């Protein structure tokens, strides 16, 4: 009864916030309408509708990173990939530690996919599992909160979709075959990174292969001290085969491999506790097979996809380490798929379909007579409408139904089901002002447990364990005119029954309410050959009656206030682009930090500059780039990284470094 009352109060609060925001938007826009009518009498020029094929873009999407963004920013890791978007924070340190958070919510609360294959982060809350080469990516889309029904199950705090490149994305204009060679060197970590790619297309067939090798040393932080366990030792590869008929029927196979190994900290996202390093080998293997059509009709626009994904962390006891936390091997095998079709209906599209997954978790325990295993499966059905009933109004609404079966490590089974409705809308109030908002209720089932805990004890599950659910709400205002864009968004997510553990009895239990709320602001101006922009995110995240902390397993971390700045300018006559970025994070002081042994989370300012030369008149399709990262040698640890305590020092981010890179396409 208490939980029901809490849910109703939370929902009423969400609706009140949306109503108040809409009222403010309408008031501001009313003045905008009058001004627009005074300055531009006559015909109304509406905001253009962005269309991909027959389907309008997803209005739920908050962050979109394109291939052009990736090529311009030259990110070397997931952390650098999101560096311009403070709504997504990524832990610092080695590649092994780089898990990400959306508005402070742990990656485990998100539906994360690579080419449609789900990747769940449930091995070890100090590790990330999405280690990838941004060179492989065509786009990244983030729904930070409200998510559509066809984006998959378990999207408690939203969804993140990574899409890798196809042959068409790699070929130069007029090419049917080609290659790319990339070489870079980082002066701080002495990391040499080499990427080679080859691809071809003929008579409907496509083939592509990309491989990257990165090898280096432990980097130095802003104090000039070496951060042990951070050296790159990375292999990544992507292969694709495809065939597309004259009638647009397209079949594609892709395979991706990632392997990161070396001596790592037992807890990669934090500094030493007992000066302990251990050999780690993290491997991710993903295979997908898909069928789509590039010539959809009103009744036939299918998406059929099957995938197999394996995330493996090997941490054998090679150096005689005696603590149980030092040695275990864990593996999560996932198989899943999706069958969907989009139908043209009056004013838009209707997408209907089914999806499923089956995850098998295995933990090899060196200090126990038996190993640990779990299995969880989910079957879902969904329908999502994307409509444009008037030139000014866009609506996206839908519902999904899920049924989950969870076979726990202690022999118990939990069978649950639930519904996840959603609605989002955009309305052009004037020629330049658009109001938007949305709400979703997401049924997430029982989250996969953190398997690293199984190696240290015989955990059991509370018999009354309830599935996790979430309320998501957002509302905002966007202004566009010429090259100017301004945007502000209010957001709130309330997760009920998140994962938690009673360590006194070694029992998995339902956690306290997890809530994140705040606002995102963005401003930018784009010229033909230049851009300047800023983004600001304010996030308050609470677990129960206090700030969420790093020990709240796979739930959330403090974020506070972060400002990012980005700018570039291209001197077209000499083919030279210069630019820079900055991340400014403000100090976090909260009683919960002190009460739980943490010190205030320090502020920091990081500045990066770059220059890139593309002399096509001398060497076609070649570029040379020099980056000065952390120009002022700031001594800091990035947001999302485990904070300082009396016992724990953080893992500090790299100090000043030069990155020199060369790209040749042929």
Tens-digit pLDDT profile for residues 565-594: 999 999 999 999 999 999 999 999 999 998
Q: Is the pLDDT of residue 419 over 70?
A: yes
pLDDT tier at 40, thresholds 50, 70, 90: very low
The pair of three-digit structure tokens given for residue 615, joined into one six-digit string: 């002399």
Selection from 267, 233, 256, 284 nearest residue 163 by Cα: 256
Selection from 348, 339, 441, 361 nearest residue 394 by Cα: 348
Q: Is the pLDDT of residue 605 over 80?
A: yes
What's the pLDDT at 544? 94
The pair of three-digit structure tokens given for residue 521, joined into one six-digit string: 């602001």
pLDDT tens for 201-238 read 999 999 999 999 999 999 999 999 999 989 999 999 99
Q: Who's near 573: CB < 8 A, 6+ residues apart?
A: none
Q: Which of the pair, 405 or 460, is modelled with greater confidence? A: 405
What's the pLDDT at 265? 80
Number of other residues whose CB lies within 10 A of the CB of residue 336 = 23
Q: Is the pLDDT of residue 15 over 50?
A: no
Query: Among 243-247, 320-324, 610-614, which stretch is predicted with the lowest mean pLDDT?
Result: 320-324
What's the pLDDT at 642? 86
Cβ contact 265:252 at 8 Å: no
What's the pLDDT at 365? 74
Residues 535, 551: Cα–Cα separation, whole Å = 29
Over range 81-95, report the average pLDDT.
91
Count Cα atoms within 13 angstroms, Cβ side, for 323: 8
DSSP state of 76: S
Q: Is the pLDDT of residue 87 over 90?
A: yes
Whole-angstrom CA distances from 434 to 26, 59, 579 are 10, 12, 30
Q: Is the pLDDT of residue 47 over 80?
A: no
Q: Is the pLDDT of residue 320 over 60?
A: no
Query: Among 23-27, 109-113, 522-526, which stretch is predicted with the lowest mean pLDDT?
Result: 23-27
Over range 375-389, report the average pLDDT.
97
Beta bridge partners of 200: 177, 207
Give the torsion through C-alpha atoms of 81, 83, 84, 88, to 10 deg. Answer: 90
* SS3 labels along 421-469: EEEEEEEECCCCEEEEEEEEEEEEECCCCCHHHHHHCCCEECCCCCCEE
What's the pLDDT at 125? 72
What's the pLDDT at 314? 85
Residues 513, 521: Cα–Cα separation, whole Å = 26
What's the pLDDT at 57? 59
pLDDT tens for 107-143 read 999 999 999 999 887 777 777 778 888 989 999 999 9
Taking the CA atoms of the chain, what radius of gyration do you get in angstroms?
25
pLDDT tens for 241-279 read 999 999 999 999 999 999 998 888 877 777 766 667 778
Q: Is the pLDDT of residue 629 over 50?
A: yes
The owner of tokens 């998995």 is: 508
Residues 365, 138: Cα–Cα separation, whole Å = 39
Number of other residues whose CB lies within 10 A of the CB of residue 189 = 22
What's the pLDDT at 241? 98
Query: Among 143-147, 244-248, 281-285, 413-417, which stretch is predicted with the lowest mean pLDDT?
Result: 281-285
* SS3 labels along 122-167: CCCCCCCCCCCCHHHEEEEEEECCCCCHHHCCCCCCCEEEEEECCH
Over range 532-540, report the average pLDDT.
98
Chain center to CA of 615: 34
Selection from 305, 328, 542, 557 nearest residue 453 by Cα: 328
How many percent of the chain have pLDDT more than 70? Answer: 88
Q: What burial class does residue 263 get, using C-beta atoms within 10 Å of its C-beta: 0-12 exposed, 13-18 middle, 19+ buried?
A: middle
The helix (run of H) or strand (run of E) holding residue 6 is: helix 2-39
Mean pLDDT, rounded, of the chain: 88
What's the pLDDT at 319? 59
Count Cα atoms within 13 angstroms, Cβ side, for 101: 32
Query: Among 219-228, 364-373, 467-476, 657-666, which stretch is predicted with the lowest mean pLDDT?
Result: 364-373
What's the pLDDT at 215? 96
The pair of three-digit structure tokens given for residue 367, joined into one six-digit string: 């200090």
Over range 538-561, report the average pLDDT.
92
Chain center to CA of 354: 23
What's the pLDDT at 105? 95
pLDDT tens for 327-359 read 678 889 999 999 999 999 999 999 999 999 999
At residue 126, φ and ψ (nearest 5 deg) are -95, -5
């Amino acid at each position: 009864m208490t939980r029901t009352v809490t849910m109703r109060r939370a929902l009423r609060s969400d609706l009140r916030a949306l109503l108040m925001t809409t009222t403010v938007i309408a008031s501001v826009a009313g003045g905008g309408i009058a001004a627009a009518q005074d300055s531009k009498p006559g015909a109304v020029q509406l905001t253009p509708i962005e269309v991909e094929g027959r389907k309008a873009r997803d209005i739920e999407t908050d962050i979109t990173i394109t291939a052009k963004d990736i090529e311009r920013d030259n990110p070397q890791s997931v952390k650098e990939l999101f560096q311009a978007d403070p709504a997504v924070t990524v832990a610092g340190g080695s590649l092994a530690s780089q898990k990400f958070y959306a508005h402070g919510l742990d990656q485990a609360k998100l539906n994360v996919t690579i080419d449609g294959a789900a990747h769940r982060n449930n091995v070890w809350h100090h590790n990330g599992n999405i280690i990838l080469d941004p060179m492989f990516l065509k786009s990244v889309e983030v729904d930070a909160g409200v998510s559509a029904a066809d984006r998959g199950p378990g999207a408690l705090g939203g969804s993140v979709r990574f899409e890798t490149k196809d042959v068409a994305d790699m070929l130069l204009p007029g090419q049917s075959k080609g290659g790319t060679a990339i070489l870079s060197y980082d002066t701080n970590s002495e990391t040499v990174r080499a990427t080679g790619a080859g691809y071809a297309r003929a008579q409907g067939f496509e083939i592509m292969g990309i491989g990257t090798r990165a090898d280096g040393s432990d980097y130095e932080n802003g104090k000039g001290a070496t951060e042990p366990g951070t050296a790159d030792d990375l292999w990544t590869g992507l292969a694709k085969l495809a065939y597309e008929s004259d009638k647009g029927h397209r079949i594609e196979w892709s395979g991706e491999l990632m392997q990161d190994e070396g001596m790592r900290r037992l807890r990669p996202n934090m500094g030493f506790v007992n000066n302990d390093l251990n050999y780690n080998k993290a491997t991710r293997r993903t295979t997908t097979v898909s069928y789509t059509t590039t010539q959809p009709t009103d009744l036939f626009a299918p998406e059929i996809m099957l995938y197999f994904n394996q995330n493996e962390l090997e941490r054998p006891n090679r150096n005689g380490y005696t603590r149980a936390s030092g040695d275990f091997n864990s593996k999560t095998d996932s198989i899943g798929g999706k069958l969907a079709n989009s139908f043209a209906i009056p004013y838009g599209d209707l997408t209907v379909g089914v999806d499923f997954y089956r995850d098998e978790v295995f933990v090899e325990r060196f200090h126990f007579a038996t190993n640990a295993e779990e299995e969880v499966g989910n079957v879902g059905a969904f329908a999502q409408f994307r409509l444009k009933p008037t030139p000014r109004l866009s609506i996206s609404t839908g519902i999904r139904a899920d049924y989950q079966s969870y076979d726990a490590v202690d022999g118990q089974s939990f069978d649950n089901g639930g519904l996840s409705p959603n609605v989002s809308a955009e309305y052009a109030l004037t020629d330049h002002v658009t109001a938007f908002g949305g709400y979703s209720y997401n049924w997430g089932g029982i989250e996969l447990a953190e398997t690293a805990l199984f190696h240290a004890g015989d955990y059991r599950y509370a018999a009354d364990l309830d599935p996790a659910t979430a309320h998501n709400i957002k509302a905002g205002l966007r202004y566009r005119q010429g090259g100017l864009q301004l945007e502000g968004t209010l957001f709130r997510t309330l997760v009920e029954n998140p994962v938690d553990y009673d360590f006194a009895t070694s029992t998995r239990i339902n956690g306290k309410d997890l809530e994140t709320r705040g606002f995102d602001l963005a401003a930018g101006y784009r010229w033909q050959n230049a851009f300047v922009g800023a983004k600001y995110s304010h996030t308050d995240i609470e677990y129960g009656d206090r700030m969420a902390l790093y020990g709240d397993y796979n739930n959330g971390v403090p974020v506070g206030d972060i400002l990012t700045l980005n700018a570039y300018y291209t001197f077209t006559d000499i083919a030279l682009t210069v630019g820079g970025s900055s991340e400014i994070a403000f100090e976090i002081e909260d009683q919960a930090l002190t009460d739980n042994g943490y010190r205030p989370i320090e502020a920091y300012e990081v500045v990066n500059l770059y220059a890139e030369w593309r002399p096509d008149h001398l060497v076609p399709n070649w570029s040379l780039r020099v980056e000065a990262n952390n120009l002022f040698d700031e001594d800091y640890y990035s947001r999302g990284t485990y904070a300082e305590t009396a016992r724990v020092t953080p893992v500090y981010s790299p100090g000043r470094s030069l990155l020199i890179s060369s790209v040749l396409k042929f």
